[in-house]
Amino acid sequence: MIGFVFPGQGTARVGMGGWLRRDPAGAAVIARADELLPEPVSELCARGPLDKLVNTLHAQPAVTACNLAALAVLRERGVEPDVVAGHSVGEVSALCAAGVLDVDTAVRLVATRSRLMADLPDTGGMSAVMGLPPDRVEELVAEAARPGEPLVVGLENAPDHAVVSGATAAVARLAELAAAAGARKVVPLKVSNAFHSPLMAGALDGWAEAVRATPMSPPRVPVVPNATAEPTTDLPTIVDALIAQLTARVRWTATMHALADVETLVEVGDSKVLTGLLRAVDRRCASLADPAAVRRLRRPEPAA
């Protein structure tokens, strides 16, 4: 049983997708993404500048292009998933792997998502909190929030790794509280706003309209949405979860546990971030950041 997991926006870096652009199957997908996007991403991935690449408007399409290129490489070699999940915007790539979206539709949908999020006023931020259990982070979040300055746990990435998201002042207060509570590390994230928080509500109607207008097919394999962390093949549930994800928590720790029975996990994209998070729950994962990982994956046995 093979599970594909797809990384999200935080994995964007200069040089990403290098070997995928040299593979014919991967290169074709990246070239197609360049054609579809308002601004091509292949040169931005290859050479930067970094500040432009990590901007929400460009980071989400860039990561998605690399994810879908890696997916094409696997498909060309006959490797298909039995279950899929994606981290934040990586969920759109996962839906492509499950057959819900085709490549063109996935790229266009991510372009819309990135534009809607980038167009919001810059009113918030995010910080990763490492070394505290989720229930303690929840307590500190409640203490740091104020009326008109919301703060939530936006992502549960691992048992001792949460990301808080909300008003800038509340995030700053949380950092001080977490340090005093014994957090191993509190790291401000280089993001333009408070993703997966109530401050994304201004983009929610536009996102819901875009998702519901997008042609989709029932999934060929189960999908584990961020918002529920429960495998499903029910298309309406998948659609609702994809819409909710914009403001809802990414339940990645629970998602990793939902994949507990999957023998082989593959991080499909040019990233090792999810591989590292899976290591935190004692799971091994092959990352396509290493092109040799493709050769190590076994093709399915032919039917008797």
Give domain 124-191's CATH superfamily.
Answer: Malonyl-CoA ACP transacylase, ACP-binding (3.30.70.250)
pLDDT digits over 139-151, tens only? 999 999 999 999 9
SS3 169: helix
| pLDDT score at 89 | 97
- The H-or-E segment that residue 266 falls in is strand 264-267
* 183, 132 Cβ separation under 8 angstroms: yes
124-130 and 185-188 as β-strands: parallel, antiparallel, unpaired?
antiparallel
Say if residue 301's pLDDT is above 60: no
Say if residue 303's pLDDT is above 50: no
Give start-end residues of each CATH 3.30.70.250 domain in the chain.
124-191
Q: State the catalytic residues.
A: 88, 196
| pLDDT score at 190 | 83
- Strands (E) across 67-205 are located at 83-86, 124-130, 151-158, 161-167, 185-188
- Report the C-alpha dihedral over residues 240, 246, 251, 257, rounded to 10 degrees: 50
Give start-end residues of each CATH 3.40.366.10 domain in the chain.
2-119+199-296
pLDDT digits over 86-116, tens only? 999 999 999 999 999 999 999 999 999 999 9
Say if residue 45's pLDDT is above 90: yes
pLDDT digits over 227-236, tens only? 999 999 999 9
pLDDT digits over 279-291, tens only? 999 999 999 999 8
Say which CATH architecture domain 2-119+199-296 belongs to.
Answer: 3-Layer(aba) Sandwich (3.40)
Name the band, by pLDDT with cuts 50, 70 and 90, for residue 18: very high
